[in-house]
Amino acid sequence: MNMATLGTLAMSPGTPQNVKVITSNLDNDTILTWEPPASPASGPVHYQIVWRETAVNDWQYAADAAQYPGTKGDTSTRLPVSKDNVFFGVRACSANGICSQAVAPVPAR
């Protein structure tokens, strides 16, 4: 199982960099921004946002970032989910569906 996990992670496009949650707006939406992986995979990369309630250990929800357009092209998104009640993560996925580990955002203004 460990070898299969490591093999899958090795084929992933790499983790998104500088993942941030914008805390300056006082509304119930959440804005996430990030930069592409440091060593991107060959081929197209899309991003997936995952989140979970604070008392749960595993990701409960996932959404394609393109489903919720942001302000910086394909490296930001605005979700209709309150940033106060959940933990977020952003992961990069290849065209064949192999995803990197999720990166937790840090607060930014």
Q: What is the pLDDT of residues 64-92, one digit of tens each?
A: 998 888 767 789 999 999 988 899 999 99
pLDDT above 70 (res 17): yes
Q: What is the pLDDT of residues 29-57, one digit of tens each?
A: 999 999 999 876 667 889 999 999 999 99
Beta bridge partners of 88: 51
CB 78 within 8 Å of CB 25: no
Q: What is the pTM of this model?
A: 0.87
3.40.50.20, 2.40.50.1020, 3.40.640.10, 2.60.40.10: CATH of 2-108: 2.60.40.10
CA torsion sign, 87 to 93 to 97 to 100?
negative
Task: Give whole-number Cα distances, 8 to 2, 39, 99, 102, in Å.
Answer: 10, 16, 8, 14
